[in-house]
Amino acid sequence: MDQLHEPKSEALRALYWRDEILQLMFWIKGEGLGERVDPELLDRFLGVQTTVGIRYLDRLVDEGLLDRDPDGRYGLTEQGHQHGARVFAHEFADLTQPGHGECGPDCWCHMSVAEAEACLDGRSGTGERGAGG
């Protein structure tokens, strides 16, 4: 799938950056890299100029998705955390679900080589058994 690029209209750009920023902040928090970010981080991770990033960060503060401390660093509110989690989960759903014809995580083929071979044979139609997962 092609990478989405920043939309041309201001309304869609605001939605685009809201999702990108909240997803990034959710990821940073989840990885234990910090609870708060500064605008320069957006430039490093997302490629948005600091002055533009501040405008979107402040907009997210106004929407109740972020808060800003006196040092100019931003953190997720509970609502922002929930939104970031949804965007993150949606973005990576394709990577965490089995593809067409692939087994799920509870398939026996993950337990032994013999089961993996039988499962593969079943998926390709060459074996005696049907699909394993």
Mean pLDDT of 105-130: 64
pLDDT higher at 50 or 107? 50
**If pLDDT is split at 50, 70 and 90, which confidence band does 131 have?**
very low
pLDDT of residue 69: 96
37 burial (CB, 10 Å; 0-12 / 13-18 / 19+) is buried
Mind listing the pLDDT tens digit for each residue in 35-82? 999 999 888 998 888 888 899 999 999 999 999 999 999 999 999 999
CA dist., res. 66 & res. 81, Å (int): 9
Query: Taking 70 as the threshold, does the pLDDT of residue 11 lie above it?
Result: yes
The letter for the amino acid at 89 is: A
Q: Specify the DSSP class assigned to residue 116.
A: H
- Mean pLDDT throughout 21-37? 92
Q: What's the pLDDT score for residue 128?
A: 47
Domains of the chain: 10-96 (1.10.10.10), 98-133 (no CATH)
The answer, yes or no, to whether residue 95 has pLDDT greater than 70, is no
The span from the CA of 16 to the CA of 129, in Å, is: 47
Mean pLDDT of the chain: 80
pLDDT at 28 (0 to 100): 93
